[in-house]
Structures are given as C-alpha cells and as structure tokens.
Amino acid sequence: MMNPEARVWIYQSNNTLNPNQLVEIKAVLSDFVNSWTAHNQELKASFEIKYDRFIVLMVDESQAGASGCSIDKSVHLMKGLEQKFQINLLDRFNIAYKDGDAVKSVDRNGFEELIKKGLVSSDTKVFNNMVSNYHDYQNKWETVMADSWHNNVFSV
C-alpha cells in the first residue's frame, strides 16, 4: 500500500495505448522506478497505467524526497516515450473524460464544443491529472466535472 502522502505525477496519453505499447512501456517504467534516485538515494517509487492511457508515477518521500533533478529525469523519460510511440504525454490541455464506460480525450477547443453541444456537463466524469498525492489520486482523480478544476476553467 502506498503512503497516502506519496507524491504523484499523472501523464495522460492523447491516444489509448495498444497492447504492444503497453508491454514495452511497462518494461521501461519498471526499469525506471527500480533505479530512480535523488542525490544518489534510491527513491521508493512505483507506477500504474490506468485505462490504457494514464501513466501514474508515485514516490513515497518518507524514505527519500524527489529532487528537481530526479523529477527532470522522469520528464525526460516521458519525452522519450512520446518520441518512441508517437504519443503526447505532456499536453496539460489534452482533457480526458468518460463517455459511458469509454475514456475519451480531446483538446481544449474540442472540450468546449462538447460542453456547448450538451455532451459534457457538470456531472460528466473527468480526470483531474493535477492531483499531487496518492490520497487525492485515489479519491479525487476520477471525479465529476463540478468537483474538479475543469469547473473553474470551463463554463457549463
């Protein structure tokens, strides 16, 4: 079980990852979290891939804290995954939402269009990739739009 205060970073792909991509990405992430360090101290890190789209990195800082350099290493890793798999993981305005059981994503303008057409409302499930700790990831990441930052940015 991860420490509720563990730091969390969520990277969202603009596309659903296919089974071959998932196998390769899981292997790369496993190697990364098992060798991730900050100032030569091993980080207690793990990862999850949710909905074949979200890469979630977690660090329990009770053992050693993630430093700027170690965080830079993770961003560099994500940039490498972007290039290798021709996906976008760093676009914060690639907005994911649920349409029934399906997870879909659109850019900011596309999301605004969905709101105008009434296809997205304050009750629509969205993904708050801005959560910063494991507790919030478990409890506030997948939420209705009314309870997320989306509600402050987009008028419904």
Q: What DSSP line would sit under 85-142, residue for residue?
A: HT-----TT-EEEEETTEEEEE-HHHHHHHHHTTSS-TTSEEE-TT--BHHHHHHHSE
Percent of the chain with pLDDT over 70: 93
pTM score of the predicted model:
0.91
- CA 94 – CA 88 distance, rounded (Å): 9
pLDDT score recorded for residue 15: 92
What rounded mean pLDDT belongs to the chain? Answer: 90
> Tens digit of pLDDT for each residue in 2-42?
889 899 999 999 999 999 999 999 999 999 989 887 667 77
Residue 70 token pair: 């170690």
> Tens digit of pLDDT for each residue in 57-109?
998 876 766 666 777 789 999 999 999 999 999 988 899 999 999 999 999 99
